[in-house]
Amino acid sequence: MTLDARDIRVRLALHHFHNRSHRGEVWLWVRHDGREFPVEQSACPQGAEIFGEIESRVVGDRFVDKIVAVRQHSAAEIARRRKQTEAHKAYRTECYRRYSFTKRIEDLGGVE
């Protein structure tokens, strides 16, 4: 199943997903309380209808997102993904620490 990016709700949900997902985490596309949205597997709401895992890749200069069947992940794979996620989060934290918010605004030309 390919997500219909013509729908503004889908585009907003994918924007959230691409800005929140980290390497190694498993994200699901679910329906809960009449809304469809991406959620990290460990934070999936109770009673949500799960459509599948979100599989993302970059083709040219665009994201291509598909919903694939939920897979069983081995304990070794889950441990590997957890390590990747923690390493990626630490990397992002370090990037934010080195590149302060004030400096980012200055680089955009917002602060004199």
Q: Where are the domains of the chain?
A: 1-71, 72-112
- pLDDT over 60 at 112, yes or no: no
Tell me the whole-structure pTM to 2 decimals: 0.58
Displacement of CA 30 from its chain's centroid (Å): 13
What value does the mean pLDDT take over residues 52-62?
A: 84
Q: Which pLDDT value is given to residue 111?
A: 52
- pLDDT over 70 at 58, yes or no: yes
- pLDDT over 60 at 60, yes or no: yes
pLDDT range class, residue 76, cuts 50, 70, 90: confident
pLDDT range class, residue 110, cuts 50, 70, 90: low
